Structures are given as C-alpha cells and as structure tokens.
Chain A
C-alpha cells in the first residue's frame, strides 16, 4: 500500500470530541475515495472527491461527517461530536481518474476508537 498515506494510524477520541483523518493520495492522483470498515465487515463507500469538489457523497452519514480535498494539502475526513458507533477503520483510496479500468489504491487506514 505504499503511496497513499493516511494519518494518524490510530486515533482515540472521547465522545463529543472531533476527529480529523488525513489522506495524501499517490503522486499524480487527483481522485480520492473514503471508505469505512466496521469490525468483521467489508469496506463501505463514504465519499468521492476530486480537487476542491465533492463528486459523490452518497455513502456519507447525513450529520456530523464532512470531507474536503483542497487545492493544496491532503484530503480531510472530519467527524464532529463523535459517538461510540463511529469506532471503525477508515480507509482512503486514490486513482488518477475516476473512470472504469483504473484501480483504486488504498492506504493502511486510520483506526478510530471512541471512549
């Protein structure tokens, strides 16, 4: 999974705090995807972004979650007022473009634990 960098690898928050997860895509990739994986489950799509644009947020919870991919810097997944149910592994993936035929390359994720 070299190339897509996520940090932090582990994040502990208390209920009600904010969590910020960062993702730097592979060099030359301008498309970023966020997925969430609950224990013993497969990855679930959350949001797809290009530089400065949210393209598809159909998998994002309606409240407390937001994502951005600014012109400069990493993509950020932000979770406000975290609850115990937000505990999960959050994975970021990137690709050079969004069409068919190009795989998404994943980072090693951020494990979020809510106390």
Chain B
C-alpha cells in the first residue's frame, strides 16, 4: 500500500530544527510528495507538498533529492506543539486516496 518508508520515532530539542526523512524510491514522475501531521485526537493537518523542487511555507520546508527517491521535512524551530505523528505520503498516479502508513512520531523535548 504505502509507497514511503519513515523512521518510527524521533526526538528533537525545543528550538532546534527537526529533520524528518522519508524514502520513496518507487516514486514516478507525476507523483507528488505530501506531508501531513496528526496531533492526538485531531484530524490530519496538511503541512506541505512538492513535486521536484524544494518548497517552503510558513510551517516547514521540504527538500526533495534530485532523483526524487527521498525527501526531508524540516521544521526550522521546533516547539512543544510540534509533537505529533508526521506522515509522508506519495499519492499513486491516477489514484484517489492517500496511504497514510504509520508515520514518524516526533517528540519535541523541552
């Protein structure tokens, strides 16, 4: 199902950058990479998405390797409120659904 591989869990010190990796070695040319996060008991929150270029918005930066086989989500200054499960998703070309997998549980430590 999921076309991505992420570490199960990560810790990050408050105020430091959190770098969350994702492997998507079977990604095809038209498929985007999306990042969401889910804080306990809430719905998934959209963070950022990209195709081949690096992207930045008010929440995060997305770095996609040149061969597009992996990417990194960067939260530049992690806060305690960034503690959540982060999902890296590649939407299957022509498909309608997102495969959420198990994501990375990020804990920001004071």
Contact indicator A48/B96 (Cβ below 8 Å): yes
Q: Which candidate, A62-70, A77-85, A106-114, is the interface stretch facing chain B?
A: A106-114
Contact of A43 among B31, B44, B49, B93 (CB under 8 A): B44
Contact indicator A59/B93 (Cβ below 8 Å): no
Contact indicator A109/B43 (Cβ below 8 Å): yes
Q: Which candidate, B12-20, B59-67, B73-81, B100-108, is the interface stretch facing chain A?
A: B100-108
Q: Which size class do B's interface residues fall under?
A: 20 to 34
Distance to closest chain B CB from A1 (angstroms)? 5
Contact of B44 among A41, A91, A100 (CB under 8 A): A91
| Residues of the B chain whose Cβ atoms lie less than 8 Å from the Cβ of A1 | 42-43, 45
Contact indicator B31/A59 (Cβ below 8 Å): no
Contact indicator A45/B43 (Cβ below 8 Å): no
Residues of chain A at interface, number, CB under 8 A = 26
Contact indicator A42/B46 (Cβ below 8 Å): no
Q: Is A18 an interface residue (CB 8 A)?
A: no
Contact indicator B96/A103 (Cβ below 8 Å): no
Contact of B103 among A35, A42, A104 (CB under 8 A): A42
Task: Name which of A98, A100, A107, A108 has the most chain B CB atoms within 10 A of its CB.
Answer: A100
Q: Is A51 an interface residue (CB 8 A)?
A: no
The list of the 8 closest CB pairs from A to B, nearest first, reads A45-B97, A42-B100, A106-B43, A48-B96, A43-B100, A56-B96, A108-B43, A103-B46
Residues of B within 8 A of A (CB): 30-32, 34, 36, 42-46, 49, 51, 87, 91, 93, 96-103
